[in-house]
Amino acid sequence: MAGLENLSERDKAVLRSIFDPTATIAQVVDDGDQFDDNEEPSNEESVKICAEGVQLAEAGQYEDALRLLTRGIEVAPDRAAAYNDRAQLLRLMKRDNDAMADLDKALQLTEGSKGRARALALCQRGVLLKKLGQGDLARAAFTEAAKLGSGFAKKQVVEMNPYAALCNQMLTQVMRGETEIKL
């Protein structure tokens, strides 16, 4: 059996999403994504500050990470990716309303865009809405992100399809060897 070191980056991302419930969207969203990334304003200082904030968040230092990510936004208030980063952290901190506010700002900044920042904000919004039990709104967010090229969003749209869910349920029952299909 092959070791983990022989897995592709895609396979590693799938495993992370399965075994790490705190995995962020950015860690698994690159599966087949196609984006026009030339639309996001560039600000090297904000990018650097946010990268440091993300590292602190990954180390569990949420309050310090929040300070840095907020600073990254202050340096470049029109950079949607900074709001996406902070929204991920706020979701980890269970501050869903604050995360949604940051996602709203990222979506406002990327209105009409076809870039990665918009797709990531839509994916995060979809995940958060799904968690809050707002399936129709979540599906709408994932559908728009899928149209922008997000592989993650495409998978979510399929999974949220009620017919696909029924087929998955029946397939699971067949795989378990159940003789009577329960609907």
Q: What is the pLDDT of residues 8-34, one digit of tens each?
A: 665 555 555 444 444 444 444 444 455
Mean pLDDT (the chain) is: 79
Residues 6+ apart with CB under 8 A from 26: 84, 88, 120
Give yes or no for a contact between 72 and 49, defined as CB atoms under 8 angstroms apart: yes
CA distance 18 to 10: 13
Among 110-114, 125-129, 142-146, 174-178, name the one with the lowest average pLDDT: 174-178
Q: What is the pLDDT of residues 108-130, one digit of tens each?
A: 999 988 888 899 999 999 999 99
* Two structure tokens written together for 80: 């949607």
* Two structure tokens written together for 91: 């979701």
- Tokens 């902070």 appear where? 86
Which stretches of 76-179 are DSSP H helices? 80-92, 96-109, 116-131, 135-147, 151-160, 162-175
| Cβ count within 10 A of residue 163 | 8
pLDDT above 70 for 165: no
Task: List the domains of the chain with CATH numbers.
Answer: 24-175 (1.25.40.10)
Give yes or no for a contact between 126 and 100, defined as CB atoms under 8 angstroms apart: no
Give yes or no for a contact between 102 and 84, defined as CB atoms under 8 angstroms apart: yes
Name the residue type at position 130. Answer: K
Taking the model in full, what pTM does it have?
Answer: 0.70
90 or 37, which is more confident? 90
